[in-house]
Structure 1
Amino acid sequence: MLELYWMCLSGGVLFALVSIIFGDVLGDIFDGVFDALSFDHVDFLHPMVLVGGVTIFGGSGVMLSRYTAMEPVPVALLSLMIAIALSIVVYFAYVKPMKNSENSTGFSMKDLVGKIGEVSVPIPVGGYGEVILRVGAGNTNQIAATLEQVDIPAGTRVVVGETKDGVLYVFPYDKSFGNMSRL
């Protein structure tokens, strides 16, 4: 049983070293390969939690086997409980907060097509106004023109129909039907 513990411990340490040294390169190589196996809805299956749990299982098994007089089955059960407990700590102390902090303020103008915003500066026919859109964790103000050749007053909800040369071309959002007026 001691060999299993050593294998788990050394495998986890090796995984950590490979991740530190070659993490970016391997991430670029395997980018998207595992999307079919994505467990986005099961966050606790994050590699850091799983490999960390295996490493902790191995390390606690080695220590309990060498420094206590416990039998192999209680050592395995206690090592498993320690690994589960510390994996939960790793998940809630590191993985979940880091996942929640992954907000980007970067966007492409093409990403704005189909988004609903609000006119902050009136948009005249043949002229330009300004629209506020929610992007990621913040808002962005963009120059806008009308697609339907109608004046759009400030405070009107609009939908971005297309973008061209850094300008959003918008049309009013029809609240009475709950859909867009262009459809």
Structure 2
Amino acid sequence: MSLLAITYLVIALIGLAFLALTVLIGEIADIFDVGDDGIGPFNGKVIAVALTAFGATGLLMTFFRVPVLWGALAAAGSGLAFGLAAWLLVALLYRQQATTEFSLRDLLGRTGEVTVPIAADHPGYVVISGPTGTRQYLARSSRGIPIPAGQLVRVSSLAGTVLLVEPLQPATLVEGPDARGETR
């Protein structure tokens, strides 16, 4: 086996070992990943696939006695093509993952229903369907007035983790799903 073939074999094995490690114990080279919110081209899995493809293609080219320059070009092209394919596939899989990222600020302006009455000076509870499902939140009246259970309210602001709500008047109701998803 020629020195060139051994070099390509070592590169392919390093890429394969690196890929196995990133799959088994997580992202090793995430310090090279330049993607802020997603997968970048320097993701460990992408680099590992590109190295493996480069080494394997170069090894095949030496086995079939392709001239060194053409073999190196084929290996580089293969590494780039497989790296690009891996990047696109890993990025697609990353985007498909569900996120539970949520902020109470996402509830501002949303409509909910009072489930535990809100007294003028004491909090109650409001049910709101949000991006992460239907949840119950601690709420106070933004106007300092009591709000009975069953009343539809709109989130007007926040006080820490407590929602400040105001009752909806019948004239401001719009057709569509309420906090429980029922159409009114």
The match for 1:50 is: 47
For 2:34, give the aligned amino acid.
Answer: F
Greater Rg over alpha carbons, structure: 2
Taking the aligned partners of 2:21 and 2:45, their CA distance within structure 1 comes to 13
The match for 1:65 is: 62
**CA 1:172/1:38 → structure 2, altered by over 3 Å: closer, same or farther?**
farther
The match for 1:81 is: 77
Contact 1:113 1:161 in 2 (8 A): no
Find runs of 4+ consecutive structure 1 residues off by over 6 angstroms.
Answer: none
Taking the aligned partners of 1:38 and 1:172, their CA distance within structure 2 comes to 43
Taking the aligned partners of 2:33 and 2:74, their CA distance within structure 1 comes to 31
Shift, 1:89, TM fit: 1.9
**CA 1:114/1:151 → structure 2, altered by over 3 Å: closer, same or farther?**
farther
* 2:152 aligns with one of 151, 154, 178: 154
For 2:50, give the aligned amino acid.
Answer: G
Shift, 1:130, TM fit: 1.4
The match for 2:94 is: 99
Shift, 1:172, TM fit: 5.0
The match for 1:170 is: 163
Q: Number of residues paired by the alignment? A: 152
Shift, 1:127, TM fit: 4.8
Taking the aligned partners of 1:16 and 1:38, their CA distance within structure 2 comes to 15
Unpaired segments ≥5 residues, structure 1: 164-168, 174-183
Identical-pair percentage: 13
Unpaired segments ≥5 residues, structure 2: 167-184
* 1:143 aligns with one of 137, 156, 166: 137
**CA 1:38/1:82 → structure 2, altered by over 3 Å: closer, same or farther?**
closer
TM-score where L is the length of structure 1: 0.65
The match for 1:179 is: none
Taking the aligned partners of 1:134 and 1:79, their CA distance within structure 2 comes to 50
Contact 2:49 2:83 in 1 (8 A): yes
The match for 1:176 is: none
TM-score where L is the length of structure 2: 0.65
Root-mean-square deviation (Å): 3.2
Shift, 1:147, TM fit: 6.1
